[in-house]
Amino acid sequence: MFLHPSLFLMSQISGFCLKCKTYGPIKDGKMIKMNNGRTRVGGFCSQPGCTGKISKIVS
Ligand SMILES: [Zn+2]
């Protein structure tokens, strides 16, 4: 019995928000496959009131 890999990653991934200069969890993260075969998670900053986007390469 395994967790779905993307769900597992989603709950763990944090990134650095360039807008509020805070490191925190990525909200509404989505896995995005890039042209070079790597995967990144794109989402939004979880800080209240911040609308910054966070993107992080995960594999
Ligand atoms: Zn932010």
CA–centroid distance, residue 59 to ligand 1 (Å): 23
CA distance 19 to 36: 27
Q: What pLDDT does 11 receive? A: 60
Q: Which of 7, 19, 32 minimizes the C-alpha distance to 43?
A: 32
CA–centroid distance, residue 5 to ligand 1 (Å): 26
CA–centroid distance, residue 11 to ligand 1 (Å): 18
pTM value is: 0.72
Q: What pLDDT does 12 receive? A: 72
CA–centroid distance, residue 40 to ligand 1 (Å): 18
CA distance 38 to 16: 19
Report CA Rg, the chain: 12
Summarize pLDDT for 1-59 with one digit per residue, the tens.
555 666 555 567 899 999 999 999 999 999 999 999 999 999 999 999 999 999 999 88
